[in-house]
Chains A and B, each alone.
Chain A
Amino acid sequence: MAFLDGTTQTNQPPVQKSDDAAGYYTLGAPLVDPVAPTGPIADRWKNRKFENRLVNPANRRKLDIIIVGTGLAGGAAAATLGEAGYNVSTFCYQDSPRRAHSIAAQGGINAAKNYKEDGDSTHRLFYDTVKGGDYRARENNVYRLAEESANIIDQCVAQGVPFAREYGGLLDNRSFGGVQVSRTFYARGQTGQQLLIGAYQAMERQVAAGTVKQYTRHEMLEVILVDGKARGIVTRDMVTGAIDTHLADVVVLATGGYGNVFYLSTNAMGSNVTAAWRAHRKGAYMANPCYTQIHPTCIPVTGDHQSKLTLMSESLRNDGRIWVPKDPKDADKDPRDIPEEARDYFLERIYPAFGNLVPRDIASRAAKYQCDDGKGVGPLVKEVDEHGVERMVRRGVYLDFTEAISRLGEDGVREKYDNLFDMYARITGENPYETPMRIYPAVHYVMGGLWVDYHLQSSIEGLFVAGEANFSDHGANRLGASALMQGLADGYFVLPNTIREYLADGPFDKIDESHPSVVAARTEVEERINRFMTIGGTRSADSFHKELGRIMWEYCGMERTETGLKKAIGLIRDLKKAFWSDLKVLGTADTLNQSLEKAGRVIDFIELGELMCIDALNRRESCGGHFRAESQTEDGEAMRHDDEFAYVAAWEFGGEDGLPVLHKEDLIYTAIEMKQRSYK
């Protein structure tokens, strides 16, 4: 199809034939991005920045912006919007913005700087990201992301982010999973920390300047809509229990991802879906919720007590070689005593072109299959399969640095990965310089999130969503080092340009605390808290969370089937009933009460979990982090169905007892041609 602007669509609109989720949803009207730009792809963002209206500096002071979340996305947005002179309020649930989950990112951040002259460019970063996402991301958004990537590095360096450098004092970079150029900037294994501290410091500077007001230990529990527009939020002061309303002209959610729906994940303990889910229940669409990224290089589970999993940065795959013993009987042997010929370097064998650097979903599934086949290493752990049958399996594969140590020397390896090796030693009690590490996939990142248009506005007017909380840039699979890039691009460069277009219509009519919509939102929150406190059952919120996590990992984890997903939906519905009748929250609501905080987050996870399973059930194709067993090639690779599913699944809340409503946004490609993915 040719467009008026001279571009041509390279793909056919999809027509879905299967209907696995029939009875679990209703079909809504198709959805389009109302502000999608057109024209030659390289000019779209440039033109849009020019077309968006300006807000004169004297008016900015009169415009109030609420930003929930102070990770990379929220912190960067607050710093920039504050600097521009708007009146900004920020909220986070930790005791300081510097502790947002972004701080945990290890590996690095991509940017198309082409400092290595190895053929990188904006277009190549764009292409790699769309391809890596299995063609389920929006071309417009991804191009803009690639375009802004170089500015991010400039900005961060100017703020004093201590990136790794070469001897000459110039910036160093390395390559990252799924990519053949060196475009990843890093600060040893602590890139997220350094970037976040940069954004945090920039934001604190604005706090001092009086443009940003910062609320810590405040949890957002509801959005306030007035005449269909987002005009504020309801928060709980986590220290005093006070329920407060905060009003503004525009609200931004930058509240991170919901990977903790699986209970065990690499996310911080407090990471949650509450802000996004509350907005969803008020009309914001939730897009592609089933797209979960499973990361291949995490420290394996050791037992039931475990509260979280720890990621070992993907950068380790640059130098480490992954293998299992060919003979399962060798599982108990000291790996150093297993000779070369008795080892199976399965990624190098199956994917010779990419070897250990294949994308995350491929590496993860390959490790799972080795373990399913009985070739795993590490302790035997108990598992219950789909039919309720118990079995003992080893869930681990080796990540071996022997060769790297002989090539780079122990010091060379130490310099590159020191803190990761320390962390591994600390958690497992083993020395990874001496014996190969053991790794296994774990839930790490979610590509799904609130639906947004090109301006990052959700389906609720005046509610913008940035960073991991939105769905827009990664498709079905996120390449390494691209989430940090997205968070900072959204915060530093995109929102400041798109929000001004929205705010150019403001200031909007003033509303006050006594407005019926404000009172209603606040009452809703109070009643809900009261309900948690008075169920008086027997089970802790944590115990419900763990149970939900087991269901999600078993049926909606690395591999999904129609029967499994249907079973999971039933189990989750039962769990929800049990929650509302058997929850026990001790203490009172008017002090710091961590059990109460958890209760609110867990019930939102339960509701989200159900929607994730329905989304996964509907999508009878395998792509990226979504692997439907029914859709694979003869040799077990993921099989996409572009003809049926080249769309974004945007779910509308269907009411307390109603069915969710599916809106499909067809994906349109003009600058890229869809190809079947092959890393062989």
Chain B
Amino acid sequence: MNLTLKIWRQKDATSAGALKTYTVDGISPDMSFLEMLDELNEQLNEKGEEPVAFDNDCREGICGMCSLMINGQPHGPEVTTTCQLHMRSFKSGDTITIEPWRADSFPIIKDLVVDRSAFDRIIQSGGFISANTGSAPEANSVPAPRDKAMRAFNVATCIGCGGCVAACPNGSASLFLGAKITHLGELPQGQPERYTRVVDMVGQHDHEGFGGCTNIGECAAACPKEIPLDVISQLNKDLRTAMQMGL
């Protein structure tokens, strides 16, 4: 396959960036999207032009490190991570536009790499269960109903990629937040801190500059782990309850 790539190049956080056009040929449909970029980088290196910086690590769709807006969509046209997107989703002759995540709360570091540390700070604000090591009760002493445990698991699969934020016209991280609130809130172990957690996490979310949720649903449509939109309802419900409790 032969492709034309329009890629956002930006030297560092403070420089201005711009789209630059490259062509690559000899791309196999079995390549992953990132392997296609590896190929481009190898060619750039040969020509003496600095390779394009992009984030990635596991290349298995599980670490959440890869990002990229591909033709205006987070992770591209399929519902998956960028590393699991394969070139068979494109045709020879296509022009592909590749940009970094778009969101003020994820500032650009270089080229396609952005800073997602706001997510860590949201977790620090309450996205955990306080269980000191060594003081845990016997695991089976607290049964967890299977349907609740299943739901907890299904939303705990969020990989923290930030695609939901990049997809949202408001730059809201509500899907990410809702996934964590729901994961911990569905389990018996998560009950004691349930309502302080939601207040603290929403507070941090807003403090980081993420926008409010207006129920557009782009986040869930773009989420590679198919986190359902109703986690945001659960988030709102828990938040309401917390308010009623005066928290």
Pair from one complex: yes
Chain A residues within CB distance 8 Å of chain B: 76, 79-80, 83, 94-101, 103-104, 113, 115, 151, 153-160, 162-171, 187-188, 190, 192-194, 197, 200-202, 204-205, 207-208, 214, 216, 239, 268-270, 302-303, 305-308, 310-311, 423, 426-427, 429, 492-493, 496, 538, 540, 542-543, 584, 586-587, 591-595
User: Once the chains bind, are A151 and B153 in contact (CB under 8 Å)?
Assistant: no
Within 8 Å by CB of A168, from B39, B135, B143, lies B143
Q: Which residues of B contact A311 (CB under 8 A)?
A: 60
- Bound: A187/B183 CA distance, A: 13
In the docked arrangement, what's the CA distance between A157 and B135, Å? Answer: 12
Q: Determine if B136 and A95 form an interchain contact, defined as CB atoms under 8 angstroms apart.
A: no
Nearest-neighbour CB distance to chain A for B107, whole angstroms, equals 11
- B131: A residues at CB distance < 8 A: 155, 158-159, 202
* Cβ-defined contact, B35 with A305, below 8 A: yes
Which residue on B lies nearest to A157, using beta carbons?
Answer: B139
**How many angstroms from the CA of A113 to the CA of B110 in the assembled complex?**
49
Given A197-B156, A306-B35, A592-B113, A190 and B146 contact (CB-CB distance below 8 Å): no
- Contact A205:B58 (CB < 8 A) given known A162-B149, A171-B139: no
Residues on A with beta carbons closer than 8 Å to the beta carbon of B23? none
Query: Which one of B84, B86, B120, B137 has the highest number of Cβ atoms from chain A below 10 Å of its Cβ?
Result: B120
Of the candidates A104, A168, A540, A591, which one forms a contact with B110 in the assembled complex, judged by CB atoms under 8 Å apart? A591
Q: Once the chains bind, are A96 and B145 in contact (CB under 8 Å)?
A: no
Q: Is B145 a contact of A155 with CB atoms below 8 Å?
A: no
In the assembled complex, the CB of A454 is this many whole angstroms from the nearest CB of chain B, namely 20
Please tell me if B237 contacts chain A, counting CB pairs below 8 Å: no
**In the docked arrangement, what's the CA distance between A568 and B135, Å?**
51
Knowing A95-B116, A302-B30, A595-B45 touch, does A115 contact B146 (C-beta < 8 A)? no
> CA separation between A168 and B144, bound complex, in Å?
8
Chain A min CB distance to B185 (Å): 10
For residue A598, which residue of chain B has the nearest CB?
A: B51
A429 nearest CB neighbor, chain B only? B88
A268 to B58, CA, bound (A): 4
Give the Cβ gap from B142 to chain A, nearest Cβ, in Å: 8
Neighbour of B133 across the interface among A113, A204, A496, A587, CB < 8 A: A496
Question: Is A429 a contact of B28 with CB atoms below 8 Å?
Answer: no
Q: How many A-B residue pairs have CB under 8 A?
A: 221
Q: Is B57 an interface residue (CB 8 A)?
A: yes
**Given A155-B136, A187-B153, A302-B30, CB of A96 within 8 Å of CB of B120:** yes
Which residues of chain A have C-beta atoms less than 8 A from B202's C-beta? none
Q: How far is the CA of A163 from the CA of B142 in the complex (A)?
A: 13
Determine if B84 and A427 form an interchain contact, defined as CB atoms under 8 angstroms apart: yes
Contacts A165-B150, A202-B131, A303-B28 known; 16 new A-B pairs at CB < 8 A? A99-B64, A101-B57, A154-B136, A162-B187, A169-B143, A171-B140, A190-B62, A194-B153, A208-B124, A305-B30, A423-B60, A540-B41, A543-B42, A592-B109, A594-B51, A595-B51
Q: Chain B: interface secondary structure?
A: loop
Smallest Cβ distance from A445 to chain B, in angstroms?
15
Given contacts A170-B143, A208-B124, A594-B51, contact A99 B57 (CB under 8 A): yes
Closest to B123 in A: A204
Chain B residue contacts of A540, Cβ below 8 A:
41-42, 45-46
Given contacts A201-B123, A204-B123, A305-B31, whether A193 and B189 have CB atoms under 8 Å apart is no
* Interchain residue pairs with CB less than 8 A apart (7): A103-B58, A160-B187, A162-B156, A193-B62, A201-B127, A423-B61, A492-B134
Q: Is the CB of A205 within 8 A of B57?
A: no
From the candidates B48, B55, B84, B140, name the one contacting A423 in the complex (CB within 8 A). Answer: B84
Which chain B residues border A302 with CB–CB below 8 Å?
Answer: 28, 30
CB-based contact A426/B84 at 8 Å: yes
B19 CB-CB contact with A under 8 Å: no
Q: How far is the CA of A309 from the CA of B124 in the complex (A)?
A: 34
User: Are A586's CB and B51's CB within 8 A?
Assistant: yes
By a CB distance below 8 angstroms, the chain B residues around A188 are 153
- CB-CB < 8 A to A310: which residues of B? 59-60
Q: Is the CB of A307 within 8 A of B34?
A: yes
By a CB distance below 8 angstroms, the chain A residues around B51 are: 586-587, 594-595
Residue of B48, B63, B159 ringed by the most chain A CB atoms within 10 A: B63
Tell whether A96 pairs with B117 under 8 Å between CB atoms, given A160-B187, A591-B11.
yes
Cα distance A326–B194 in the bound complex, in angstroms: 59
